[in-house]
Amino acid sequence: MTNNEIEFEDIIGRYLTININNESYRIYVEESGAGIPLICLHTAGSDARQFRHILNDKKITANYRVIAFDPSLAWEIQPT
């Protein structure tokens, strides 16, 4: 297999640490693009995968830093 046969998406997944009331929490986020932050927040019963088309849309990510995460999982994450 050559590199010409592999196509990577521009989405980057990583963890961030946020401090709330002197407790640090690690949360996994996926993001793509640059510019004005655009937070994608889904409703109950869904997850951040529903935003993959937005995270991969070149017209959107040219002007926005699209950020998707799963808040239901975020609140279950243990302090670091």
What's residue 49's pLDDT?
84
What's residue 73's pLDDT?
52
What's residue 80's pLDDT?
54
What's residue 47's pLDDT?
77
What's residue 37's pLDDT?
97
Distance CA 66, CA 22 (A): 28
What's residue 79's pLDDT?
56
Do 24 and 18 meet the contact criterion of CB atoms below 8 Å apart? yes
From first to last of its 80 residues, the chain has per-residue pLDDT tens of 566 788 889 999 988 888 889 988 888 899 999 999 999 988 777 778 889 999 999 999 999 999 998 765 545 555 55
Calculate the alpha carbon distances from 23 to 17, 31, 72, 80 in Å. 10, 24, 18, 8
Q: Which two tokens stand for residue 48?
A: 């951040």
